[in-house]
Structure 1
Amino acid sequence: MRIYNMKIGVFISGTLLWCTSYSILFAQGISASATPHQLIAGDMDIVERDHSISANGRNLNYKSTAGFMNMTNEDGVPKAKFYFTAYTLNNVASARNRPITFVFNGGPGSASVWLHMGGLGPRMIMMTEEGEATKPPYEVINNPDTWLDKTDLVFIDPIETGYSRPAEGEDKKQFLGYVEDIASVGDFIRAYVSEYQRWNSPKFLSGESYGTTRAAGLSGYLQDRYGMYLNGIIMISAVTNFATILFEKGHDLPYIMYLPTYAAIAEYHKVLPNEVTDLEAFIAEVSDYARGEYATLLMKGDRLTAEDKDKLADKLHEYTGLSKQYLAHTHYRVNISRFVKELLRDRKQTVGRLDGRILGVDYDHAGEGYDFDPSYSKAIYGPYAMAINDYIRGELGFETNNAYEVLTGRVRPWNYNNVQNSHLNNSETLRGAIHKNPYLKVLFINGYYDLATPFFATEYTVDHMFLDPSLRDNIEMAYYRSGHMVYIHRPSLEKMTTDVRSFFDRVLE
């Protein structure tokens, strides 16, 4: 074990806003005074250890690097302590040919624990085959599906998540917002690539949930601010257009986007009036209805005829199992908080938001919404919190007195000043990055039972990016019979790993 405390001689000239960065930031409604100052690398307090694991038929000897990169401004004033965990394969002839992938989760307010200990890292938390918790205390096991056989991995905890914190005396608000977060995480990536001499390695990002929002933003920030062109992005349970998922009166789009997911979950729990023999064909049918007749009828509002209402009630009952009376009472618009309570009300059970396969039981069966999300509180929170705390201190050998913030409210309020009076939609940033770098490929990973970021909303968003026809094949879609954390379902993890390994091969061929 080696403990480092070292100075990094890195100097970047210029300021955050320059040249094409101006056009991107101003297009999002950001004023020059609102943009964060550039961060550069200062001291690093890290622990390195050697490990070995078998994955994909190979014995992988690798090094873990766990600890803080302490970021300063250009005047050397401490600004933030970024915690990261990196895994790099040993005995590599040249890092020039070895890909590196920067990984983060979302929230905002989530550490990278889920992807780290759930499916990508060399060690993982043991769950049941279906993705529920085992009896505590839990067990950390080798992960044969780690991505380490294809790429080095750097798991990043944004400021106020995990162990990452602002420097003493620094206002945390400078890191807590769409623009601020992309700048600080992007500056960390630039500093890491420089310190570890990975500028000439193939570079990838992988984000989950709001982490995909961050990844889309970083595709523009890294490219336009630093000239760091990416090879690929893996978007797990994506959202880059928040208009597709935010339920508001008078805003019909989310009701359309969620219908295929409602149908998939209803089919999973066998509450539909008709038997479904082919899930994918059924989902395609519901998706066609959602983008067609359902969207058209919702547009009518109070102009719906009695015949229209009968059509809506019949189809929505067929696709969701909800009663026709209940559907009528909702104006044929069911939001998430109602769906998770109503679907199995007769059974006195609720369904999960992160994963509609997982069930819970409330105190009050007559309530409007559930008491807690069973797919978070019951299934994953305890095991993953144990895993990361025990693993970092034990196997990785890094210790700090801070609490590891798994999913925290410390980041609230999150600053969306760049899109005041509008929904954030940074799919345009991703489109611009692909148009400027036509070699950038993106893989979207979607869970059928995900109520947080529904797959149909991702399809809609991609369909409305209006990529040039010559670049549409740069985007790929993959689907799984799982939820938001696709990888907690063992068969889905195995399929996802196969899909991701193939993606790396295609991008790097």
Structure 2
Amino acid sequence: MLGAAGLSLLLLSLPGQAAEKPNGKQAKTEISIPEAKVYQTTGQVRVNGERVHYEAIASETILEDDKDKPLASIFSVTYLRTKTDSKQPRPVTFVFNGGPGSASLWLHMGLFGPKRVVVPGDAKDDGAAPYRLVDNEFSMLDKSDLVFIDPVGTGFSRALGEHKGQDFWGVKEDAQSIAEFIRRWLIEHGRWNSPKYIAGESYGTTRAAALVDELQSGWTDISVNGVMLISSILDFSHARYQPGNNQPYIGFLPTMAATALYHDRVAAADKAMGLSAFVEAARQFAMNDYALALLKGSRLPEEQYQAVRRQLARFTGLTEDYLDRVNLRVSASRYTKQLLRGEDRTVGRLDSRYLGVDYDSGGERNDADPSGYGIDGAYTAAIHQYLYQDLGVKITRPFNVLSVDVNRGWNWSISGKQMHYVNVAPYLGRAQRENRDFRILVANGYYDFATPFFATENTLADNGIDNSRVEMHYYEAGHMMYIEPSSLKALAKDIRQFYQAD
């Protein structure tokens, strides 16, 4: 493991002043590259009934091109367990969030790391500071060393020299830079023979699939033991509403059913069924009568149209009149505005348990996501307080929690030709075929309108994936299911068992 001095040797420090050419003309001024920063601390936390001691390393890693010229600086926080008697190589898990454009603070401060920020578990707003930052008894540090990665343009990570952020903002470009970071980390920490896991959330699951392909392709193979897909999106045809694409209407319907049930917008008999049974009924309707009706389009006989409309009203909690006006097609953005319009309330996108109040009730979509502004204050304060006070970080430039520039500047092409829908699911199927130990865990929130669970099921049922090596888990919460206490406990147990299966 390299200290600050060792890491600084990996830098190519360039002078900031102009050089004089022999003919008397000045050469182009080269851009000065700052020295990589490393901050090391120690700590301990009680996890799963045992005391875990660890070393924390918050650091910048300089990525270089084939001419040793700096490309980018990637900020990460590494946790290495200490004072352990085990002679076996410890697993290491590389963790990131999504966006694209998000730093890794959500999984860091909400699930995996040794500290956790507490937000209301009953879908209420987090309010203002002070917030509670507690020891995380559900941390995975007892099972695996942890590396939280902020991709270029997020957190403190940035392009260097003459390079721009856009050079790294894309499905393939991003996966390549994270793969190079992981390769460098394994070298610096001597961990090539450790079991390796990847955990991603939201777009981070897209990144995870692309990253696995990047790591395991070719002869410099970094084989991965497993991936943890938290609120998964792999095939974007299931989530992008475009004329002629009916997949999202099918994929989102069971989430609408769960939401209608939660907000008491279903019949008493359906409410008595309970969440699991009612959602299963919605699944069956979605992939049979409803899917066929959408496929038939204008060829659908009136009698069948009316029958489908009645069932759609049953599962969504919306009126048949409204469903007529939208031609049996309800987008997620319309639904979160329409369901409680009569009460001047909206429901959340990331977590539809949350309620919001818009400027007025006349619009087509929410002014903002109540499940987003309901937690962001606490997480933003927590990561800043933790980095600067607990880990001793002295970097003064802004920490990008979520970058709009990255998100809007993203290159969605994965084949050299622009594809309308990104689909990285086949990468996971190939990873299974080429690595007999490769396993997949998928965590789904019933109330998640960002990455709906039924769309994930439909994706995994196709794309050459061996579902005997896929674990599917469901939680009565939303996109970030770990903010709800019982879901956090269940998710932590499921992940811990996933590690133990190896």
TM-score (structure 1 length as normaliser): 0.90
Instruction: Report how far residue 367 of structure 1 moved.
Output: 1.2
468, 477, 482: which one pairs with 1:482? Answer: 477
**Map of 1:27 onto structure 2:** none
Determine the C-alpha separation between the residues in 2 that align with 1:120 and 1:297.
43
Determine the C-alpha separation between the residues in 2 that align with 1:458 and 1:386.
32
Instruction: Report how far residue 95 of structure 1 moved.
Output: 7.2
197, 201, 204: which one pairs with 2:194? Answer: 201
Determine the C-alpha separation between the residues in 2 that align with 1:69 and 1:427.
29
Determine the C-alpha separation between the residues in 1 that align with 2:83 and 2:35.
27
Per-residue Cα deviation, 1:361-403 (whole angstroms, up to 9, x for no partner): 00111111110000001x1111111111111011000121211
Determine the C-alpha separation between the residues in 2 that align with 1:421 and 1:174.
19
**Map of 1:104 onto structure 2:** 96
**Map of 1:313 onto structure 2:** 309
Determine the C-alpha separation between the residues in 1 that align with 2:95 and 2:207.
11
Determine the C-alpha separation between the residues in 1 that align with 2:127 and 2:49.
30
Per-residue Cα deviation, 1:398-421 (whole angstroms, up to 9, x for no partner): 121211111111213111233514
Is the Cα–Cα contact under 8 Å of residues 6 and 44 in structure 1 kept in the other structure? no
264, 268, 273: which one pairs with 1:270? Answer: 264
2:81 maps to 1:86: no
**Map of 1:77 onto structure 2:** 69
**Map of 1:498 onto structure 2:** 493
Determine the C-alpha separation between the residues in 2 that align with 1:473 and 1:505.
17
Secondary structure, aligned partner of 2:240: coil
**Map of 2:6 onto structure 1:** 6
1:116–1:132 distance in 2 versus 1, CA, 3 Å: farther
Instruction: Report how far residue 134 of structure 1 moved.
Output: 3.7
2:227 maps to 1:233: yes
Is the Cα–Cα contact under 8 Å of residues 355 and 451 in structure 1 kept in the other structure? yes
1:177–1:341 distance in 2 versus 1, CA, 3 Å: same
Is the Cα–Cα contact under 8 Å of residues 68 and 81 in structure 1 kept in the other structure? yes
- Note the 1:332-481 alignment, pairs <5 A: 332-377=328-373, 379-411=374-406, 412-418=408-414, 420-467=418-465, 471-481=466-476
Per-residue Cα deviation, 1:284-307 (whole angstroms, up to 9, x for no partner): 111011011110011111112221
**Map of 1:300 onto structure 2:** 296
239, 257, 277: which one pairs with 2:251? Answer: 257
Is the Cα–Cα contact under 8 Å of residues 430 and 464 in structure 2 kept in the other structure? no
Instruction: Report how far residue 136 of structure 1 moved.
Output: 2.1
Determine the C-alpha separation between the residues in 1 that align with 2:489 and 2:37.
35
Determine the C-alpha separation between the residues in 1 that align with 2:101 and 2:47.
31
198, 205, 220: which one pairs with 2:213? Answer: 220
Larger mean Cα displacement after TM superposition, 130-139 or 417-426: 130-139
* 1:464 maps to amino acid: D
Secondary structure, aligned partner of 2:422: coil
Is the Cα–Cα contact under 8 Å of residues 103 and 156 in structure 1 kept in the other structure? yes
114, 118, 122: which one pairs with 1:130? Answer: 122
Instruction: Report how far residue 164 of structure 1 moved.
Output: 0.3
Per-residue Cα deviation, 1:449-470 (whole angstroms, up to 9, x for no partner): 0000000011000001233xxx
Is the Cα–Cα contact under 8 Å of residues 6 and 45 in structure 1 kept in the other structure? no
Secondary structure, aligned partner of 1:148: coil
Per-residue Cα deviation, 1:203-259 (whole angstroms, up to 9, x for no partner): 000000000001011111111143110111100000110001101111111100000
1:95–1:431 distance in 2 versus 1, CA, 3 Å: farther
Determine the C-alpha separation between the residues in 1 that align with 2:150 and 2:87.
24
Determine the C-alpha separation between the residues in 2 that align with 1:394 and 1:307.
66
**Map of 1:29 onto structure 2:** none
Instruction: Report how far residue 133 of structure 1 moved.
Output: 4.1
1:410–1:5 distance in 2 versus 1, CA, 3 Å: farther
Determine the C-alpha separation between the residues in 2 that align with 1:487 and 1:95.
32
* 1:505 maps to amino acid: Q
**Map of 1:19 onto structure 2:** none
* 1:83 maps to amino acid: F
TM-score (structure 2 length as normaliser): 0.91
Determine the C-alpha separation between the residues in 2 that align with 1:219 and 1:200.
17
Identity in percent: 39
Secondary structure, aligned partner of 1:86: strand
**Map of 1:36 onto structure 2:** none
Is the Cα–Cα contact under 8 Å of residues 96 and 200 in structure 1 kept in the other structure? no
Larger radius of gyration: 2
Secondary structure, aligned partner of 1:418: coil
2:109 maps to 1:114: no
Is the Cα–Cα contact under 8 Å of residues 100 and 154 in structure 1 kept in the other structure? yes
Secondary structure, aligned partner of 1:276: helix
Instruction: Report how far residue 44 of structure 1 moved.
Output: 4.3
Determine the C-alpha separation between the residues in 2 that align with 1:6 and 1:132.
47
* 2:148 maps to amino acid: F
Secondary structure, aligned partner of 1:162: coil
- Note the 1:7-22 alignment, pairs <5 A: 7=7
**Map of 1:31 onto structure 2:** none
Larger mean Cα displacement after TM superposition, 86-95 or 362-371: 86-95
